[in-house]
Chain A
Amino acid sequence: MQPENFYYDNKIVRNFGIATVIWGIIGMTVGLIIAIQLYHPAANMGNQYTTYGRIRPLHTNAVIFAFVGNAIFMGVYYSLQRLLKARMFSDVLSQIHFWGWQLIIVSAVITLPLGLTTSHEYAELEWPIDIAITIIWVVFGWNMFGTIFKRRERHLYVAIWFYIATFVTIAVLHIVNSIELPVSPFKSYMVYAGVQDALVQWWYGHNAVAFFLTTPYLGMMYYFLPKMANRPIYSYKLSILHFWALIFIYIWAGPHHLLYTTLPGWAQSLGVAFSIMLIAPSWGGMINGLLTLRGAWDKVRDDVILKFMVVALTAYGMATFEGPMLSLKQVNGIAHFSDWIIAHVHVGALGWNGFLTFAVLYWLIPRIYKTELFSKKMASFHFWIGTLGILFYAIPMYWAGFTQSLMLKEFTPEGMLKYPNFLETTLQILPMHIMRSAGGAMYLLGVIVMAYNLTRTALQGKLVANEAAQAMPLEPANQVAREAHWHRRLERRPIQMLIAALLVILVGTFVELMPTLTISSNIPTIAAVKPYTPLELQGRDLYIREGCSNCHSQTVRPFRSETERYGEYSKAGEFVYDHPFLWGSKRTGPDLARIGQKYGNAWHYNHLMDPRLMSPGSIMPEYSWLITQKLDTSLTRAKIHAMRTLGVPYPIGYENIANQDLDKQAKAISANLYEDKIKVKSNREIIAIIAYLQRLGTDIKANKTVNNIK
């Protein structure tokens, strides 16, 4: 047999690399802006398109799917070709993949500030974009498997196992979590409601971390680290064990995001148990990486790229130990909803994803441009400012989270909450938030320096768009001797590998999702809970549009400190008409599950117009446009109809008269506001959102007022 000559496609790698850097800078800049908004409300810039609630999802989407996403594709397209000794299957598919993905990101950048969102965290994009993501993901998989099929290397290296698991699991997660019923081209309702929706969302949300931020990066680590250090991988056996254990166990851990909610107790406990078991499989990757550096630690001292890798692996190790600890319910009771979680995810995002991406960029760009890195000093500066930035980010946030949580839980000897006013605890941690944004700014500065350094590197070299390579073609499979080890055999069969990975992740998925989605006794219903009125439903959609759930939770946990502060703890039956659920994951402001009837309409009006009028020092943005904008009632009919399709018991034909009811209720609220000398037309958005807020949690609330005590 003759060796075959072929060319690696470096141009597509370069393109993904450029996209990584540009979106990284954009995503982190938005992050810095929202960090500043949290202590300086004027940074919301006084218009609806740049308020925290709308651009926080922009930040998360940009850094996860644009920065990390493009970095994954850069790493995969570079390493896959070389590990398989083959050019990518189709240049056309590569192009479609690249431009399709950038188009999806651009559409996110446009729709999220417009308030077009499903409100599902890390899956905010509306249904047409969800479909586009599915198509592009299939293109990616097609291109990857096409390449695998024409490979010149019989065995699939461990990096590729991780890529395959990533592909198949993300496909499952994305599809299941995006089952929505469209109401209009830009609006849809989640098919699941309340607890079920929450479970699906956090099964997705948790495993987006697992299979978008972890497994592809472990794959990249397995290719790039031995290349960078010029050392063999420490243990092949450990690779096998930690790969299968990781993907099997990770999928179960989602419910730890819902501890102390109305999720059934058995599901919560499964989430905790599997989270604890996840420590060793997660650490397997770190250990295999760090031990690969055995005998190369002297290189780490001089080589900034290896320094980035070591910090990345260490951050990964810390975050994957902290995660299981946070899932213990005693710890979770303090940490959940607080800045502690923000610190935790940023150790992972800035340390693991960020630093590994930078290492790969510094290593790969000079190689595909056939040159040396423009400035080692600048790269070294980037490393140190980035590391300091992580510390300045994480430490104040741990401090803030701990402080605020303990304040919220503190009681006086009289049995009263020591800080009954939530705002008091917020004001206490503002200095920590200021320091956090300084840390973020340092990190961003490092990335900008890197962008300059890489640009100069590219300018001084010349892109080797098609890199020549040579390899022997594969012998026909029937002429290859059968191997003794079962896993060696599996490594030669990509389709079996794909199916095995799929089956492994479906076990946890079925055991956890199916009972909650299908057995009605898991969600006890409450007769007093009625569907939202048309006006309240419209108000709820405004609540979603403004992204209120980014700062306000809607679930009261069964803790004394919460029932004293907010009222009776939440019941599963209260959420059965909530498509989607709006429990939120962070309490920057107080919980709103029982805000209904707590304050007057006038209070809400003034508070939304300028929160600082009613709560001096509040960091909430102003929502003055709700007063000037007319409520769009053209979709009421479609919305009621869609809700009934999803099982909300509106009477047949109610959609035809819904807007009449809506008007009636709006006029009553407007008249009530008039009594307090507030003149506002009944067709304004603020009326709808007040109606919704006044409804929240009132279905089963026992009101103790002067009137009904008498």
Chain B
Amino acid sequence: MKHHRIFIFLVLLLLFIQPAMADDDSVATGDLMNYIAFGSFFAVLLLILAAMLVVLRAFRVLTRVLLKHQGLNSAQIAAEMNPVKAKKPKAEVWQKLLSLKPLAQEHELLIAHDYDGIQELDNPIPAWFMYLFYGTIIFAIGYLLNYHVFKTGQLQYAEYNTEMAQAAIEKKAFLAKAANRVDENTVKLVSDPAVLASGGAIFKSTCAPCHGEHAQGNVGPNLTDDYWLHGSKINDLFKTIKYGVLSKGMPTWEKQLSPKQISDVANYIKSLHGTNPAGAKAPQGTKEEDTDKKLVANN
């Protein structure tokens, strides 16, 4: 009973500790957590293996003790622990399945000649082996006929066209339903916190390496000042992100970010204007008035 209480207490304790630990996870990075998690997973596996070995050992010892308790002497115990294995009946099912000759008749098949003591049997090639071989040959011929003679199967480029056509249909159907059809002409400036939060997350993962954590500029230009290389309007930003400026090293994001995501991140960048982050890169491009803001103000 006492043990049960301790056990319940431990479980409860764990339950309470867990949320506390979760709150505190900023201390350890995601990577570190992964290492720890998989390290412990691995350790637990090994531990279970070790425990199984210990339990097995314990059972053997226990059996020995019990047998001794029943008054058996050590020779009898040894006999009990390692019983003489009864001869199992010959595995006739296997023999039939593999069409093998019984071992007793093996000597009839021995080829007289030997090589350094190695003899060979003159067993026929098993029929099932030949079926397997013929089966694969038929498959191979069928494969070639399918793709190259009857042309019923699609080769890689036809396959690709089918895949792309199918994807285009699915995409169109989806976009017709979803209000996701924003492009550089229809993108709107918004200050919805949800949009900015989503944009901020995308910025951190995709833009920060080149433009800096706070958009202060790094390999890419500062995005918080008044100077712009490719236009400061939300439409310009959308376009620059979508198509990139390959000659200057800005990648195309059209394939990696959805229109909604591009719009979010463009809005997030607009929201950073004038934040004057530390270590800002020197201005590049031309000074532009923030016409978007005026528009919003006028509205």
Cross-chain contact A705 with B246 (CB below 8 angstroms): yes
Known: A227-B117, A560-B160, A704-B243. A614 touches B209 (CB 8 A): yes
Q: Which of B37, B113, B129, B257 has the most CB of A within 10 A?
A: B129
In the complex, the answer to whether A599 meets B251 with C-beta atoms within 8 Å is yes
Interface stretch of the complex, out of B3-11, B20-28, B55-63, B137-145: B137-145
Question: Smallest distance from the beta carbon of B100 to chain A beta carbons, Å?
Answer: 7
Q: Is B224 an interface residue (CB 8 A)?
A: no
Pairwise interchain contact A153-B115, C-beta atoms closer than 8 A: yes
Q: Which residue of A lies closest to B31 (CB)?
A: A617
> Quick check: A269 and B147 within 8 Å, CB to CB?
yes
Of the candidates B111, B143, B257, which one forms a contact with A236 in the assembled complex, judged by CB atoms under 8 Å apart?
B111
Contact with B along A582-620 (1 / 0, CB 8 A): 000000000000000111111100100000011111000
Decide if B132 is an interface residue (CB 8 Å cutoff).
Answer: yes
Tell me, yes or no, whether B245 is within 8 Å of chain A by CB: yes
From residue 547 to 602 of chain A, which have CB atoms closer than 8 A to chain B? 557-560, 563-565, 569, 597-602
Segment at the interface with A among B64-72, B151-159, B267-275 = B151-159
Q: How far is A705 from B157 in the complex, measured between Cα atoms in Å? A: 27
- Residues of chain A lying within 8 A (CB to CB) of residue B180: 414
Contacts of A420 in B (CB 8 A): 255-257
- Within 408-434 of A, Cβ neighbours of B (below 8 Å) are at 411-417, 420-421, 427, 430-431, 434
* Stretch in contact with the other chain, from B75-83, B169-177, B186-194, B289-297: B169-177
For residues 256 through 311 of chain A, which have their beta carbon under 8 Å from a beta carbon of chain B?
A: 259-260, 265-266, 268-270, 272-274, 276-281, 283-284, 287, 291, 294-295
Determine how close the nearest CB of chain A comes to the CB of B139; give it in whole angstroms. 5
Question: B219 within 8 Å of A by Cβ?
Answer: yes
Residues of A within 8 A of B143 (CB): 269, 272-273, 276
Is B108 part of the contact surface with A, judged by Cβ < 8 Å?
no
A237 touches B124 (CB 8 A): yes
**Is there a chain B Cβ closer than 8 Å to A709's Cβ?**
yes
Q: Assess the B245–A157 pair: CB atoms within 8 A.
A: no
Q: Is the CB of B118 within 8 A of A233?
A: yes
Chain A residues in 8 Å Cβ range of B249: 599-603
Nearest-neighbor residue (CB-CB) of B282 within chain A: A677
- Given contacts A414-B175, A415-B170, A232 and B245 within 8 Å (CB-CB): no
| 8 Å CB contact of B136 from A227, A265, A266, A276 | A276
A616 to B240, CA, bound (A): 23
Contact of A265 among B31, B139, B147, B163 (CB under 8 A): B147
Q: Which one of A259, A266, A278, A606 contacts B219 once the chains associate, using CB atoms below 8 Å?
A: A606
Q: A231-247: contact bitstring with B at CB < 8 Å (1 yes, 0 no)?
A: 01111111101000100
Task: Decide if A155 is an interface residue (CB 8 Å cutoff).
Answer: yes
Q: Please measure, in the bound complex, the distance between the C-alpha atom of A268 and the C-alpha atom of B157, giving whole angstroms.
A: 13
Q: Which of B118, B257, B260 contacts A232 (CB 8 A)?
A: B118
Q: A residues within 8 A CB of B256?
A: 416-417, 420-421
Q: Kindly state whether residue A11 has any CB partner on chain B within 8 Å.
A: no
Task: Say yes or no: A705 contacts B247, CB within 8 Å.
Answer: yes
B116 near A235 with CB under 8 A, answer no
- Cα A558 to Cα B161 with chains together (Å): 9
Residues facing B in A188-238 (CB within 8 A) are: 223, 226-227, 232-238
Of A232, A260, A616, A709, which one neighbours B209 at CB under 8 angstroms?
Answer: A616
Q: Is the CB of A85 within 8 A of B136?
A: no
Closest to B159 in A: A558
Give the residues in chain B near A291, CB-CB below 8 Å.
98, 100, 123
A83 sits at the interface (CB 8 A):
yes
A150 in contact (CB, < 8 A) = no
Number of chain B residues whose Cβ lies closer than 8 Å to a Cβ of chain A? 77
Within 8 A of A (CB), among B231-273: 239-240, 243-252, 254-260
User: Are A430 and B243 in touch, CB under 8 angstroms?
Assistant: no
User: In the complex, what's the smallest C-beta–C-beta distance from B126 to chain A, in angstroms?
Assistant: 7
Check A412/B258 contact, CB under 8 A, given A237-B125, A602-B219, A706-B240: yes
- Contact present for B103 and A295 (CB under 8 Å): yes
> CA–CA, A238 to B140, complex, Å?
22
Q: Does A496 touch B at the CB level, under 8 Å?
A: no
With A287-B126, A421-B205, A600-B250 known as contacts, the answer to whether A294 contacts B113 (CB < 8 A) is no
Interface readout for B40-51 with A: 1 if CB under 8 Å, 0 if not? 001000000000
Known contacts A241-B125, A431-B34, A616-B209; is-contact A597 B118 (Cβ 8 Å): no
A565–B209 alpha-carbon span in the complex (Å): 19
Chain B contacts for A417, CB-based, 8 A: 255-256
Give bound CA distance, A324 to B137, whole Å. Answer: 13
CA of A703 to CA of B82, assembled, Å: 77
A642 within 8 A of B: no
Neighbouring A residues of B121 by C-beta, 8 Å: 232-236
Determine whether A170 belongs to the interface, using a CB cutoff of 8 Å to chain B.
no
- Among B122, B178, B256, which residue has the most Cβ atoms of chain A within 10 A? B256
Q: Is A676 an interface residue (CB 8 A)?
A: yes
**Any chain B CB within 8 A of the CB of A648?**
no
Whole-angstrom CA separation of A273 from B142 in the bound complex: 9
Closest to B281 in A: A677
Provide the bound-state CA to CA distance between A235 and B119, in Å: 10
Q: Is the CB of B243 within 8 A of A705?
A: yes
Tell me the A434-493 residues at the B interface (CB within 8 Å): 434-435, 438
A259 CA to B115 CA, complexed, in Å: 44
- B164, CB-defined interface residue at 8 Å: yes
CB-CB under 8 A from A82, the residues of chain B are: 116
Bound CA–CA A603/B155 (angstroms): 38
Q: Contact: A415 with B174, CB < 8 Å? A: yes
Contact (A273, B140) CB under 8 Å given A614-B210, A617-B31: yes
A416→B122 contact, CB < 8 A: no
Q: Is the CB of A560 within 8 A of B116?
A: no
Residues of A within 8 A of B74 (CB): none
List chain A residues, Cβ under 8 A from B116: 79, 82-83, 85, 157, 223, 227
Within the complex, the shortest CB–CB distance from B171 to chain A, in Å, comes to 4
- Docked Cα-Cα span, A178 to B213, in Å, equals 50
Cβ of B112 to closest chain A Cβ, rounded Å? 11
B156 and A155 within 8 A (CB):
no
Docked complex Cα distance between A234 and B249 (Å): 67
B92 at the interface (CB under 8 A from A): no
Q: Is the CB of A414 within 8 A of B258?
A: yes
Residue B286 at the A interface, CB < 8 A? Answer: no
**Chain A residues whose C-beta falls within 8 Å of the C-beta of B259 in the assembled complex:** 414
A430-B34, A603-B210 known; A232-B119 Cβ under 8 A: yes
CA distance A82 to B192 in the complex (A): 85
| Given A276-B139, A434-B38, A281-B133 contact (CB < 8 Å) | yes
**How far is B119's CA from A243's CA once the two chains are assembled, in angstroms?**
18
Would you call A707 an interface residue if the criterion is a C-beta within 8 Å of the partner chain's C-beta atoms? yes
The answer to whether A233 touches B258 (Cβ under 8 A) is: no
B167 within 8 A of A: yes
In the complex the two chains form, what is the Cα distance from A632 to B88 in whole Å?
Answer: 75
A294 and B100 form a contact (CB under 8 A): yes
A513-B143 Cα distance, complex, nearest whole Å? 21
* Complex Cα spacing A557 to B155, Å: 13
CB distance from B35 to the nearest CB of A (A): 7
Inter-chain contact B136/A413, CB cutoff 8 Å: no
A79 to chain B, nearest CB (A): 8
- Supplied contacts A153-B115, A235-B124, 12 more A-B pairs, CB within 8 Å: A233-B118, A233-B120, A265-B155, A276-B143, A277-B140, A414-B259, A434-B38, A558-B159, A569-B160, A600-B250, A603-B219, A707-B245
Between A and B, 23 residue pairs with Cβ closer than 8 Å are: A83-B115, A83-B116, A232-B120, A232-B121, A236-B123, A238-B123, A241-B125, A268-B156, A269-B148, A276-B139, A287-B126, A291-B98, A427-B31, A560-B160, A600-B219, A601-B249, A614-B219, A676-B219, A705-B244, A705-B247, A706-B230, A706-B243, A706-B244
Give the interface of B toward A (CB within 8 A). Answer: 31, 34-35, 37-39, 42, 98, 100, 103, 106, 110-111, 113, 115-126, 129, 132-133, 136-137, 139-141, 143-144, 147-148, 155-157, 159-160, 163-164, 167, 170-171, 174-175, 178, 180, 205-206, 209-210, 219, 230, 239-240, 243-252, 254-260
Q: Which 4 A-B pairs have the closest CB atoms?
A: A600-B249, A420-B256, A415-B171, A280-B133
